[in-house]
């Protein structure tokens, strides 16, 4: 049964819940630093790869945040990939402003100096990307920073070929919800990704299904 073109097996969800359709994802812990302010961390989901050569990322930063002030003072930042150990950091850094508390100090996070930029790395992250802002634009109270990769680091043994080793314990974030038994407590959820659950799909069969002239482009 369909209603127009819309199959009836879909339930309508709110605009806010629509982003759950693209979970799990990995929010970044964005580290920023300036001489005047010192270092700060902020949780950020609004980021994307935004260019291949040179490799760039785009990060959207609300202009009300302390992170915005700091990046405006020193246009560099680190995107740290959280491990499951950093779930408290993800929560706090996404709730409280660095204007009100030194989040790195409060969480007792260990930092190490960046190699190419004057922003520290998070020692307990799965990895850290050092970025310098190339360009930015503003839209409705948010600044979109395009930043080039200066250098990137992964925890020792964190790569399995070109894949991230699932032993690195990446925090695959599923979002937050109010606990069913206690509607005043908000819970954050992440999915546990383990090496045993990694599935490979060579893609040969779908390539073989293509018309021959098109298929030749994908076969060696
Ligand atoms: C899961 C999650 C993702 C978030 N993503 C972003 C983001 O991409 N950009 C942004 O400006 N704020 C984002 N926020 C909100 C900031 O983390 C939050 O406002 C923070 O307190 C700002 O800290 P600051 O004032 O120390 O910079 C996010 C919060 C959460 C919980």
The closest alpha carbon to 82, from 94, 66, 67, belongs to: 94
What are the pLDDT digits (tens) for 166-199?
Answer: 999 999 999 999 878 777 888 999 999 999 999 9
Residue ranges per domain, the chain?
A: 22-218
Whole-angstrom distance, CA of residue 193 vs CA of residue 170 = 8
Q: How far is the CA of 98 from the centre of ligand 1 (A)?
A: 11
Tell me how far the alpha carbon of residue 18 lies from the centroid of ligand 1, in angstroms: 18
Contact residues of ligand 1, CB 6 A cut-off? 27, 40, 42-46, 60-62, 65-67, 93-99
SS3 13: coil
Cα(151) to centroid of ligand 1, in Å? 24
From 2.30.110.10, 3.40.50.300, 3.40.47.10, 1.10.10.10, which CATH number describes the 22-218 domain?
A: 2.30.110.10
pTM of the entire predicted model: 0.94
Ligand 1, from 94, 99, 104: best to mutate by most atoms within 8 Å of Cβ?
Answer: 94
Expressed in percent and rounded to 5, the helix, strand and coil fractions of the chain are 20, 40, 40
pLDDT tens digit string along 103-150? 999 999 999 999 999 999 999 999 999 999 999 999 999 999 999 999
């Amino acid at each position: 049964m369909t209603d127009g073109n819309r199959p009836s097996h879909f339930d309508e969800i709110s605009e806010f819940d629509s982003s759950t359709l693209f979970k799990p994802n990995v929010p970044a812990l964005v580290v920023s630093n300036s001489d005047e302010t010192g270092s700060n961390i902020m949780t950020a989901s609004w980021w994307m790869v935004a260019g291949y050569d040179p490799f760039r990322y785009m990060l959207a930063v609300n202009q009300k945040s302390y992170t915005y002030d700091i990046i405006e003072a020193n246009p560099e930042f680190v995107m740290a990939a959280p491990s499951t150990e950093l779930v408290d950091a993800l929560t706090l850094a996404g709730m409280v402003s660095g204007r009100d508390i030194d989040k790195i100090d409060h969480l007792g996070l260990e930092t190490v100096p960046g190699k190419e930029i004057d922003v520290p790395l998070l020692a307990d992250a799965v990895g850290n990307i050092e970025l310098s802002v190339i360009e930015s634009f503003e839209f409705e109270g948010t600044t979109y920073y395009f930043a080039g990769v200066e250098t990137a680091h992964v925890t020792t043994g964190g790569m399995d070929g070109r894949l991230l080793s699932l032993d690195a314990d990446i925090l695959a974030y599923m979002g937050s919800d109010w606990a069913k038994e206690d509607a005043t407590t908000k819970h954050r959820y992440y999915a546990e990704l383990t090496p045993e659950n990694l599935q490979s799909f060579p893609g040969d069969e779908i390539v073989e299904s293509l018309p021959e002239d098109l298929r030749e482009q994908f076969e060696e």
